[in-house]
Chains A and B, each alone.
Chain A
Amino acid sequence: MTTSTGTGRPTRRALRLRVDWTACEGRGMCIELLPELLDTDPWGYPRARDGSGDPEVPVQLAEHARRAVDACPRLALRLHRS
């Protein structure tokens, strides 16, 4: 999310969701918790709907993303600002 406040303050960096693919086993909990962002590929692994490797998480989904990160049984998800 990048917002311009119009007051000359710097915009916030976007929150991005990263997958540790060596840990991911395609359990699919994140896909259920973030259906707006993620889809499933033919083998059960999460795929970003926007086609990117680390999709941007809009501010209204940030809490859901945190929940997905917490729910992953393989601890394969990370959230970071870039």
Chain B
Amino acid sequence: MPSMTGSRPAAAVQPPVPHPSARLVGAAAGNLAEHRARSGPIPWRGGPGQLVALVERAGLSGRGGAGFPTWRKLTAVASGSRPVVVANAAEGEPASAKDATLLTRAPHLVLDGLQLAAEAVDAADVYLYVKAGPAEASARRALAERRREGWDRYRVRVHQAPPGFISGEESAVISSLEGRPALPRFKERLVVESGVRGRPTLVQNVETLAHVALLARYGHSWFRQAGTPAEPGTFLATISGAVHAPGVVEAPYGLTLRDLLDAAGGPSTPLSAVLVGGYHGAWLPAEAGLDAPYSREGLAPWAATPGAGVVIALPAGTCGLGFSARIAGYLAGQSARQCGPCVNGLPAMADVLTRLARGRRDPSLVPAVQRLTGLVSRRGVCHHPDGTARMVTSALRVFEADVRAHLSGTCLAAPIGKAV
């Protein structure tokens, strides 16, 4: 039964294992019975809008990459009529696996959070937006279980997200739910005001909803026990590259990048640099960057943001320019191809960067790349070109020594020309 005396359920279920980093991990459950035993029933708040104050005091922000304060989105959508709530598990970033992992290992946590968000805004329609695969299968199984037990109050419709980098972008999600191709669109108004078929729409990353499910049970003070005062709570990071145990880890905000890599077994070789924030993120040099705290504040000096927790460790034997050029080429191919500056500028940028990575000794290549990053930024209907430009700009900055070497015909990491 929903608790009437504050945020703890009547039958006091203990918070998950005391380890501050193991909240989502500790609450993972293979089936509904295990989930009930571990975390108790859904702590329904008893009416729309009740959750918002709790989320605000907890200081929860979105875990999908943008880091927008969750309570503000909830408030905006709750004030509209016939709102739509969407759990976004599209996870277009190839180097990210946290959403898929969360849905396969802890689907009930995500689905509880979805129910609570639906209650908070009094949703008329609720969707789970997920790509085909094990995550979708796990979510469908979990939803079937919940239907049998009468666990949910809001009916959740599973909507299959098309493959591709861009299908998780907020307006692309809206388009897909309306039956159109999953491509970003021009926003006349904010999605929280006018989204799916003109109705206020809450699009929330599945990890954010999982956090909602826990903090609704254990309260905002508990939530703030991890992380920093400005950025409380834990987050899921997908760590790949030259580490001993690549995979998805949970960590509190504020820990250093070095500690985060250690959670994935630590570097398996000396590193040259680390890409923080995925393919739209920024490079940090291996020596100085590893001491950076993983938080907005800590990463800001490097022009990086925590993003969706995607970290790629580049070994010293791999040319950073070559790797960046390959990412740029991939991102160029993933353009939705709706906007002129992006569809023209991104391939051109990848092209020039590739030539630089292959050892073309033309000093005009560098200003050419810089000019292109300026040309594609802020000139599109989504942030795909901006993110690509950010990654490329940081590559030129962090791999400056490599740029000089390439222009002189050598490569600091590997034999020139083999990099790409």
Contact = CB atoms under 8 A, between A and B. Distances in A.
A47 B379 contact: yes
A22 B378 contact: no
Given A43-B340, A44-B340, A22 B379 contact: no
Contacts of A53: 378-379
A46 to B, nearest CB: 9
B374 A21 contact: no
Interface of B: 184-186, 188, 338-342, 344-345, 374-375, 378-381
A73 interface: no
Chain A's interface size range is: 10 to 19
Given A41-B341, A43-B344, A45-B341, A22 B375 contact: no
B374 A22 contact: no
Interface in A46-69: 47, 51-53
15 contacts: A20-B186, A21-B338, A21-B339, A21-B340, A21-B341, A22-B185, A22-B186, A22-B381, A26-B340, A41-B379, A42-B344, A43-B345, A51-B374, A53-B379, A78-B188
A47 B342 CA distance: 13
Contacts, number: 44
Nearest to B337: A22
Contacts of B342: 21
Contacts of B339: 21-22, 24
A26 to B, nearest CB: 5
A23 interface: yes
Main secondary structure of the interface of B (DSSP, over half): loop
A52 B378 CA distance: 7
Contacts of B379: 19, 21, 41, 45, 47, 53
A41 B186 contact: no
Given A21-B381, A24-B339, 10 more contacts: A21-B338, A21-B339, A21-B340, A21-B380, A42-B344, A42-B375, A43-B340, A45-B341, A47-B375, A52-B378
Nearest to B374: A51
Contacts of B338: 21-22
**Would you list the 5 A-B pairs with minimal beta carbon distance, nearest first?**
A53-B378, A21-B339, A20-B186, A22-B338, A45-B340
Contacts of B378: 51-53
Interface in A9-56: 19-26, 41-45, 47, 51-53
A43 B406 CA distance: 29
A51 B386 CA distance: 13
Contacts of B380: 21
Nearest to A53: B378
